[in-house]
Amino acid sequence: MRLGARAKINWSLDITGVREDGYHLLDMVMQPITLSDTLTLEATDGGAITLEVAGSGIEGIPADGRNLVVRAAEALRRACGVQQGARIRLEKRIPSGAGLGGGSSDAAAVLHGLNRLWGLGLSQERLEAIGLTLGADIPFCLRGGLCRVQGIGERLTSLGEGPVWPLVVVQPCMGLSTGAVYGAWRQRAQDMAIDTDALIGCLTAGELARLPVSPGNALEPVSRAMQPAIGEAVQALLDAGAVCAQMSGSGSAVYGVFADQNKAQEAVEALRLRWEKTYLCETCGKSMCICDDA
């Protein structure tokens, strides 16, 4: 089985509180994009889970139990008492440390694929519950579509497929540690006026012209302070004609939304001269797909 595991963007990211255990309470709007990794899954008779990682920019990505892909497969095995194993090949295209949910999307694809290969028949809700034990973004990456995600990632409100708009994604600097970014936010927590309901109205109506220039990401100011290139890339996208541009997740990737494909293509060609990791893609409805459609 070959699956395309798609990245995601945060249309918004608001922090509404911090639990006693240190987990941040979030209110986010997210949607998949067509930038994707590819996973090839094969069930095996032995109980071992093996992983091969290929692609560009994979330095530092482990191929053992530290990888979220292996952890997802092992969690599914434990949850269902599976005796089978799996051979997994991961071809990376989504940049790491980017706030694009690449690792979470890969883990979600493994849960979805092995659920089928091992004949487990688990429900979507059960898969999402297992995914949440591994990472806050995994339930969303299993569900896909335009979605409001609240709490620590467990409260999902589906909002339909979402708009399909041309997108340019840029990772202008090295990846950022999610933990370090949230730690920095706690040191200088600031209220940011994020009108999530109004944003959802724009997105569900598909009204690009009403989209705010910066829909709102509470982590962007601290990530910009850590890596000023993030702010430079946001401005470069706006200068290239993006209707809106902002950071995704905790960074370091940023994205710009364009009114048409030609303008997006021109922006990619110009920005790639400055930043190698510049990608042309679009927003979409499904978070995973058959590889040929990825």
Residue 87 CB: number of other CB atoms within 10 A?
A: 15
> pLDDT tens, 236-268?
999 999 999 999 999 999 999 999 999 999 999
Top CATH class of 166-282 equals alpha beta
For residue 16, what are the contacts with CB-CB under 8 A and spacing of at least 6? 25, 26, 27, 150
Give CA separation, 273 vs 156, 239, 267, in Å: 39, 15, 10
pLDDT band at 56 (very low <50, low <70, confident <90, very high): confident
- Is 286 assigned a catalytic role? no
pLDDT band at 189 (very low <50, low <70, confident <90, very high): low
Residue 270 has pLDDT above 80, yes or no: yes
pLDDT band at 294 (very low <50, low <70, confident <90, very high): very low
Contact assessment for residue 14 and residue 42, using Cβ atoms and an 8 Å cutoff: no
For residue 14, what are the contacts with CB-CB under 8 A and spacing of at least 6? 26, 27, 28, 192, 194, 196, 216, 218
Domain 2-160: which CATH number of 3.40.50.920, 3.30.230.10, 2.60.200.30, 2.60.40.10:
3.30.230.10
> pLDDT tens, 134-156?
999 999 999 999 999 999 999 99
| pLDDT for position 104 | 96
Phi first, then psi, for residue 57 (nearest 5°) are 65, 35
Predicted TM-score (pTM) of the model is 0.94
pLDDT band at 58 (very low <50, low <70, confident <90, very high): confident
Contact assessment for residue 192 and residue 273, using Cβ atoms and an 8 Å cutoff: no
What is the three-class DSSP state of 60?
coil
Contact assessment for residue 172 and residue 230, using Cβ atoms and an 8 Å cutoff: yes
Per the residue annotation, which of 106, 137, 197, 292 is the catalytic one?
A: 137
How far is CA 187 from its chain centroid? 25
**In sequence order, which ranges of 26-165 are alpha helices (DSSP H)?**
68-80, 102-117, 124-132, 138-143
Residue 293 has pLDDT above 50, yes or no: no
Map out the domains of the chain as residue ranges.
2-160, 166-282
| pLDDT for position 20 | 83
- Is 137 assigned a catalytic role? yes
Residue 215 has pLDDT above 70, yes or no: yes
Q: Which of 104, 160, 100, 98 is nearest to 128 (CA)?
A: 104
Domains 2-160 and 166-282 share a fold: no
| pLDDT for position 44 | 94
| pLDDT for position 289 | 87
